[in-house]
Amino acid sequence: MSNGNKSLKNFFNSNKFIGSFQSYKDIKKVNTVNDCCFVGRSNVGKSSMINAVTKTKNLAKTSKTPGRTQSINIFLINENINLVDLPGYGYAKVSKVIRDNLGILIEEYIMNQLNLIHAYVLIDAKVGVKNSDIDMFDLISEAERNFSIVFTKIDKCSQSYLSNLENSMQSLMKSYKKYFNNFFFTSTKKNEGIINIQKDIYTLSKQK
Ligand code: GDP
Q: Do residues 86 and 72 touch, judged by C-beta distance below 8 A?
A: yes
Least confident of 3-7, 94-98, 137-141, 192-196: 94-98
Of 39, 43, 84, 150, the one to substitute when testing ligand 1's pocket (max ligand atoms within 8 A of C-beta) is 43
Task: Give the confidence band of 98 by pLDDT, cuts at 50, 70, 90.
Answer: low
Q: Which residues line ligand 1 (CB under 6 A)?
A: 42-48, 62-64, 66, 88, 152-153, 155-156, 187-189
Q: Which helix (H) or strand (E) holds 8?
A: helix 3-13
Which residue puts its alpha carbon closest to atom 25 of ligand 1? Answer: 153
Mean pLDDT of the 56-61 span: 63
Mean pLDDT confidence for 150-173:
98
Mean pLDDT of 72-79: 93
Q: What percent of the chain has pLDDT over 90?
A: 65
- 94 pLDDT higher than 90: no
Instruction: Inform me whether the pLDDT recorded for 85 exceeds 60.
Output: yes
- Residue 68: predicted pLDDT: 52
The length of the chain, given as a count of residues: 208
> What pLDDT, on the 0 to 100 scale, is given for residue 84?
95
Q: Whose CA is nearest to atom 27 of ligand 1?
A: 153
pLDDT in tens, 101-149: 668 889 999 999 999 999 999 999 999 999 999 999 999 999 999 999 9
Compute the distance between CA of residue 72 and CA of residue 146 in angstroms, rounded to an integer: 20
Kindly give the interhelix angle for 131-142 and 96-112, rounded to the nearest 10 degrees. 30
Kindly report the pTM of this predicted structure: 0.93
Query: Average per-residue pLDDT in the chain?
Result: 89
Does residue 83 come out as left (phi exceeding 0), alpha (psi in the -120 to 50 range) or beta? beta
pLDDT of 2 > 90? The answer is: no
Span 60-65, mean pLDDT? 51
Q: Find the helix or strand (DSSP H, E) in which 181 lies.
A: strand 180-185
